Amino acid sequence: MGIEVIRPGMFTTVQDLGRAGHAAEGFPECGACDKRTLAAANALVGNAPGAAALEFTILGPELSARKDCAVAVCGMGLAPKTNGKETEVWKPLFLRAGDVLNVGALARGCRGYIAVRGGVRVPAVMGSRSTDTRCGIGGVEGRALRAGDLLPVEACAEGEWERLARRARALGRLAPLAWERAAEPVVSLLPGPQDDLFPPEALETLTAAPYTVAVDSNRMGLRLEGAPVRAKAGMDILSDGILEGSVQISSGGGPIVMLADHQTTGGYAKIATVAPADIPILAQLRPGERVRFRVVDRREALRDLRRLHRTLRLWTARFKEE
């Protein structure tokens, strides 16, 4: 074992890029809600973008290293401490055996990530280490972390950490890993797949004014409060497949945007789908915050997604170190 959980923080779970390919069997993908920040944290410690890391909601955990290891803490407005002294975020951090890392709370955003060199080595279930709390699989016993949990991680020598630190300095110049979002972000939508069940003015309603994130939002989806969206003849459809980013309209007209833990099928009509590159923006919205939507075409959505993929490739590329 390598890391002990002293305090778990708020809904801290093990997540990677998700459990793809099992929706037909009823298993959601799960995985990190903000896959961009997960990939950034992993890049800082030399991991592949999808290595298993810790995701927390607003309040991070307190962890004790049982062996020397390298970690990276990423989130908006964090001020973590190691052994009571402030330490850096968005950079590789070397923890010696016995060191205590207190991640603290996010000043902005909803979710933060802690990556460790070599990944969190919990057993994979159906090709993923992601925690699925509804099915009770993945991560640590299929649940959020508790005090006393032991996380298996690889040891890291100080010389290896120094190499990672040099690489991180170069990485930051190539493509900055940290990011901020607007106070009232604008998120891109692609119409469909059931936009034909809504009158033409429905998309205008969805994009005319901001929506507020409801308090009962979670990793399954964001429930939004604002102008109701009306269908031609009710919202119910024969249940069909749901993707991350699907925008369902509830019976009361409220939009629900599916996130990482979304169900595999649903019976509410889906007026639109969030462009994949913008899903990390939604993953960082807290209850009470507001978001706007705009409609884009497939070409613009693909352009933004390719830009994100280029950034991810830069983070994982090999280059000459200083």
Residue range 256-301, pLDDT digits in tens? 999 999 998 888 889 999 999 999 999 999 999 999 999 999 999 9
Q: Which residues make up the CATH 2.40.100.10 domain(s) of the chain?
A: 186-312
Reply yes or no on whether the pLDDT at 319 is more than 70. no
CA atoms within 13 A on the CB side of 78: 31
Provide the pLDDT for residue 26. Answer: 85
φ/ψ of 118, rounded to 5, equals 90, -5
> How does pLDDT run across 223-236, given as a tens digit for each residue?
999 999 998 887 77
> How does pLDDT run across 180-202, given as a tens digit for each residue?
888 899 999 999 899 989 998 99
H helices of the chain, in order, are: 35-44, 158-174, 201-208, 279-283, 298-316
pTM: predicted TM-score of the whole model, two decimal places: 0.94
197: DSSP letter? G
Reply yes or no on whether the pLDDT at 237 is more than 80. no
Q: Averaged over 198-215, what is the pLDDT?
A: 95
Provide the pLDDT for residue 56. Answer: 98
Reported confidence tier of residue 240, pLDDT bands at 50, 70, 90: confident
Minimum mean pLDDT among 79-93, 95-109, 222-236, 249-263: which range?
222-236
Provide the pLDDT for residue 177. Answer: 86
Provide the pLDDT for residue 305. Answer: 95
Provide the pLDDT for residue 318. Answer: 63
Q: Are 45 and 116 in contact (CB under 8 A)?
A: yes
Provide the pLDDT for residue 243. Answer: 92
Provide the pLDDT for residue 10. Answer: 98
Which residues are paired to 274 by β-bridges?
Answer: 189
Architecture of domain 186-312: Beta Barrel (2.40)
Query: Whole-number mean pLDDT of the chain?
Result: 93
Q: How far apart are CA 221 and CA 216, in angstroms?
A: 9
Upstream peptide bond of 8 is cis (omega within 30 degrees of 0): no
Structure tokens at 242: 């749901």
Q: Are 235 and 250 in contact (CB under 8 A)?
A: yes
- Out of 16-25, 156-165, 255-264, the most confident range is 255-264
Reply yes or no on whether the pLDDT at 322 is more than 70. no
Provide the pLDDT for residue 178. Answer: 85
**End-to-end distance of the chain based on CA atoms, in angstroms?**
33
Q: Averaged over 54-82, what is the pLDDT?
A: 96
> How does pLDDT run across 106-131, given as a tens digit for each residue?
999 999 999 999 999 999 999 999 99
